[in-house]
Amino acid sequence: MENRSSVLLIFTGGTISMGENSSNHSLAPLDTKQVLSFIPELQMLHVNIASVSFSPLIDSSDIQPKNWIEIAHHIETHYNDFDGFVVLHGTDTMAYSAAALSFMLDGLTKPVIFTGSQLPVGVLRSDAKENLITAIELAAAKNEKGEAMVPEVALMFEGKLMRGNRTTKRNAEDFDAFASFNYPELVRAGVHLKYYEHNIHRENNNAQLTVANHFDDNVVVLKMFPGIRPETVKAIYSISGLRAVVLETFGSGNAPTAQWLCDIISDATASGIVTVNVTQCRAGSVEMGHYEASVNLIKAGVVSGHDMTIEAAVAKLMFLLGKYNSAEDVKREMAIPLRGEMTI
């Protein structure tokens, strides 16, 4: 008898789960059965497919850390029953969710593939079909030893499988909506599925899955721009309960050299607020100390985010703040890669 792989689809919402209302052409969420009925080709995959669904389905602009916990809960509950997992998700915040899940799922040995689409599954020219079919194929794929080909949290879009915590939504219109600027693709889905083995992370086969179920969202992103005022920075650092700041800096991690900025951040560091330096550039890395414009940040106790995306930095901070009370513990783990989210 044929030994089929099995994949669990986790529907969270987004454009991929929508169809056009034939009477007034407005877009409305479809149920799981309706979505799958638009893709009869799934029968040809020789994969056993089951599904669970958020109720109600949500636009990914409404995603909260509690929804990441819900996705992880489905994976944990069904971990032994399936060979892989596909998360259908809106594109707007998919990079945040993929990053968050990568941190939550420690000891992962099975694929967790996020995908979505730019056009609803139920309209002509939709990219939903290709994205979903390929995501399922990749979630089901095993090597000759029976191990998952891609045992990582990854994001599949327009023929590219990327490490989830390296992705960014870069285009609001093109089908080629996601990029991984600082890490190469894991798989290219062209005529053949081309696996770039050396880019794929593989845990020890005996690794046990442990799932984090706590985030602390006392985090803010503060973008530097020419003319930013001391009152603005002070107000942000004075937010009640704030525990961490992602400082979006210029170029290779530079910020205005004004003493007031250094003073505000130094005081915040002394009071236990963690500041992480991530560049506004989409590609490349922070190199603190390379220019004088980042020397003050070192003095102020800022941690380098190296080549992490903003999405990964936010998710990683929420995850670490959920795990540790002490700023020192958070800083120590921010400085090292936990799931291949940065290169140092």
- Provide the minimum distance between the beta carbon of 73 and ligand ASP in the complex, in angstroms, as a whole number: 20
Q: Residue with the closest Cβ to ligand ASP?
A: 90
Considering only 19, 65, 90, 164, the residue that binds ligand ASP (CB under 6 A) is 90
Q: Does the active-site annotation cover 15?
A: yes
- Told to check if 59 binds ligand ASP by CB under 6 A, we report yes
Q: How far is CA 179 from the centre of its chain?
A: 12
Please tell me whether the peptide bond between 256 and the residue prior to it is cis, using omega within 30 degrees of 0. no
The token pair that represents 233 in the structure block: 């920075």
Q: Which of 255, 206, 261, 256 is nearest to 237 (CA)?
A: 261
Q: Which long-range contacts (CB under 8 A, 24 or more apart) does 133-137 make?
A: 133/39, 133/41, 133/42, 133/45, 134/159, 134/161, 134/189, 134/193, 135/86, 136/7, 136/9, 136/42, 136/45, 136/47, 136/49, 136/86, 137/45, 137/47, 137/193
Positions 103 through 122 that interact with ligand ASP (CB under 6 A)? 116, 118
The token pair that represents 192 in the structure block: 């053949």
Positions 282 through 341 that interact with ligand ASP (CB under 6 A)? none
Residue with tokens 């985090």: 219
Sign of CA dihedral 161, 165, 167, 172: positive
Pick between residue 90 and residue 151 the one whose CB is nearest to ligand ASP: 90
Pick the catalytic residue: 12, 15, 93, 249? 15
Pick between residue 62 and residue 197 the one whose CB is nearest to ligand ASP: 62
Considering only 35, 36, 52, 60, the residue that binds ligand ASP (CB under 6 A) is 60
**Residues of 287-309 as b/e, b for ≥16 C-beta within 10 angstroms?**
bbeeeebbebbeebbbbbbbbbb
- Told to check if 91 binds ligand ASP by CB under 6 A, we report yes
* Bridge partners of residue 9, in order along the sequence: 51, 86
Stretch touching ligand ASP by CB under 6 A, among 56-64, 72-80, 267-275, 321-329:
56-64
- Provide the minimum distance between the beta carbon of 118 and ligand ASP in the complex, in angstroms, as a whole number: 6
Pick between residue 54 and residue 250 the one whose CB is nearest to ligand ASP: 54
Stretch touching ligand ASP by CB under 6 A, among 74-82, 86-94, 125-133, 333-341:
86-94
Residue with tokens 């120590």: 332
* Bridge partners of residue 194, in order along the sequence: 188
Pick between residue 131 and residue 269 the one whose CB is nearest to ligand ASP: 131
Q: Give the Cα separation of 57 and 15 in Å (integer).
A: 10
Pick between residue 102 and residue 118 the one whose CB is nearest to ligand ASP: 118
Residues in contact with ligand ASP, shown as a per-residue x/- string from 1 to 40 under the rule CB under 6 A: ------------xxx-------------------------
Pick between residue 14 and residue 305 the one whose CB is nearest to ligand ASP: 14
Q: Give the Cα separation of 28 and 31 in Å (integer).
A: 10
Contacts with ligand ASP, residue ranges (CB under 6 A)? 13-15, 59-61, 90-92, 116, 118
Residues recognised as catalytic: 15
